[in-house]
Each structure stands twice: as C-alpha cells, then as structure tokens.
Amino acid sequence: MKKIIIVFIVLVSSAHLFGQEYTIAETQFESGTIHLFADIFIPKKTHSKKIGIALIQGSGDSGRTNLWAISIAEFLGEQGYYVLLPDKRGVGKAGGDWKNSSFQDLATDVIFSAHHLKEKMSLDKVGIMGLSQGGFIAPVAASTNVNIDFVISIVSASVTLEEQMIHEISNTARQNGLNPQEIVEVLELHTLMKEYVLNGDWTPLEKRFSELENATWSDFAKSFPRDPDHWIWKWLGLNINFNPIQYWKDVKQDTFIALGSKDHEDNVPFYESVYRFQDAFKSVGKENYEIKAYKTGHALYEENEKVLKKEFLQDVSGWLKGL
C-alpha cells in the first residue's frame, strides 16, 4: 500500500452545536494520487472501545449531501460510533472520477478511508459499511485488507452486476407499463448493448435504436444512451463482469448483511441474493455472519415514512455492540 498523506481540517458544523450526540469535522486524505474529502461524525460519548465505521457510497453521484447516507451516519454517531461519510471519487470536492473507475479502484479508496479514520481518531477498531452498490465494493476492500475489522452490507445484491442490471431494468420496464413481450425486447436490447461494450461495434446497436423509433415502447427506449461515446459504456466495460461473491468468499471479518424483501420489486433480487450469500459462506465454512431481512424496500424505510426502519436500527446497533 502506498504511504498515506493525510491532512485533517476540523470544521465543526454549526447545525450540530446543541442537542446532538456528535459533532462533524471535514477531513481530507489521499488514495494513491487521488485527493478525497469526507466528513467525520465524532460522538460526544463513546463505548469502552472506540469503534469507527467508514461508509461506502452507492451508485451514481453519491456524496456527503446524500440524505439517506447522512441519516445512517447520524444514527451511528448518536450511538457512539465514529463515522466517516465520504464524497465518492469525482463527487463534491473529491478528485478522480468514479465513471472511469472499477469497483476494485473504489475499494482502494475505501481502504485508505478506513485507515485514515482509525489513525486520526485513534480507534480500537474500524469497519466498513457499504450502502446499496457500495456493498459490492465492501467485500473487495475487506478481502484484501486485514486491518478492516468488520463488514456491513446494506441492501446490496450478491448477484453479478449484469444480473442486477437485468433485474432492475425488467422491474423498471414493468413499472412503466411495458407488457411481457415488450420487456423481452428490452432484454434483447441489453444483449446488443453488452456486445458493444465487449467488441466496440456500434452498428448493430445503432440499427436497433433506429428500429425502436416506431416501437410501442419507443419512449422507454429513449431512456438508453444513444451516444457511442457516452461514459456508461466505458464504465460497463470495467465492471459488467463483476461478481461480488468471489470476494465475499474471502471475507474473514465479522459480517452483517441487511436486505429489504420488497426490494425484489425494484433494485435487488432479494431471494437469489440471500441464497448466494448463504451458499458462498457455507462453501468456505464462514460462520461469523448475520443476514437480516426486513419487509421494506431499498432504503430500509418504515412503511409510508422516509425514516429508517426501527427494527433495522435495533439489529445493527445490537450487532455492533457485540464486536
């Protein structure tokens, strides 16, 4: 691992000066040649052991303004844990660009962020928590770095990236009113997109896009990128064959996995993911894990409320206390 160059800037948030169980400090550090920024939630009261958790952002432009990630960081800070909430590469103040990065590249950022949090706060233990797609990155980091003490995965699939994409786009098409035969055609379009990613020949995809101008689902078809130079194609080239299970099999650390059963109708193939986690851990004799399932969706919210499900908060808090 390259030597870490760390700069720490403390900016106590005026929004949390009274009535909160933590303060917030901005920090910056290096991941190789990439300059990264994060907020550290510093609890006013800690446990007998000082424990920290480095969060891993989900898909897209996720950074320190992500309200879902903030709500999780706030809860953990209130529970007495040090939490690092980062800007993802290329988001906010962070250097680099996640659009040109593999999950393995982003795992390097996670390793540096966890190390930074532990060293700066003089912690006894530090773990990582992957949020949504961040749960793909978590096992990559944990399986390659013994200094990460525990791993938490929040609503992340255990199927391959391509399988999750197929699951998600099928659900999105159905939610947009497409009938089964039209969804068959959507999946056929995906095969052409994959061919372009792998062989670089745009002609078949360009022809199909032209044909879809007169399709019954032409409006939905327009949601797919039509530019051969769009960033998504390079990103898919880096990640489309990613399989998280090959990394989960090498995770020795204590592991907590949370999933929402209703997410099966949206982002994550819930039942297949549960089984693949179980099968992978059994195949390597891993016993130090818990899988918790909740009757909720991708954000693990209470029904009809944008607040984290109480049952989930109790479970993850109880699990952390047992470390």
Q: Are 102 and 71 in contact (CB under 8 A)?
A: no
In a domain, 77, yes or no: yes
**Residue-level pLDDT at 231:** 97
Two tokens, residue 251: 């995770």
Residue 4 pLDDT exceeds 90: no
In a domain, 27, yes or no: yes
CATH number for the domain that contains residue 76: 3.40.50.1820
**Model pLDDT for residues 125-135, shown as the tens digit of each residue:** 999 999 999 99
In a domain, 257, yes or no: yes
Question: Do 131 and 56 belong together in one domain?
Answer: yes
At 69 the three-state DSSP class reads helix
Question: Do 83 and 221 belong together in one domain?
Answer: no
Question: Do 107 and 249 belong together in one domain?
Answer: yes
| H-helix or E-strand spanning residue 210 | helix 203-211
Question: Do 122 and 17 belong together in one domain?
Answer: yes
Residue 20 pLDDT exceeds 90: no
Question: Do 46 and 95 belong together in one domain?
Answer: yes
Give the residue numbers spanning the domain of 228.
Answer: 162-239
Q: For the chain, give the percent of residues with pLDDT over 70.
A: 94
Residue 3 pLDDT exceeds 90: no
**Residue-level pLDDT at 17:** 39
Residues 6 or more apart whose CB falls under 8 angstroms from that of 147 comprise 114, 115, 118, 126
Residue in the block written with tokens 């992978």:
280
Report the half-sphere exposure of 182 (CA within 13 A, side-chain side): 19
pLDDT band at residue 19, thresholds of 50, 70 and 90?
A: low
Question: Do 148 and 175 belong together in one domain?
Answer: no
In a domain, 1, yes or no: no
Give me the number of domains the chain comprises. 2
| H-helix or E-strand spanning residue 154 | strand 150-154
**Model pLDDT for residues 205-262, shown as the tens digit of each residue:** 999 999 999 999 999 999 999 999 999 999 999 999 999 999 999 999 999 999 999 9
Question: Do 180 and 153 belong together in one domain?
Answer: no
CA distance 51 to 42: 11
Q: How many CB atoms lie within 10 A of CB 30?
A: 18
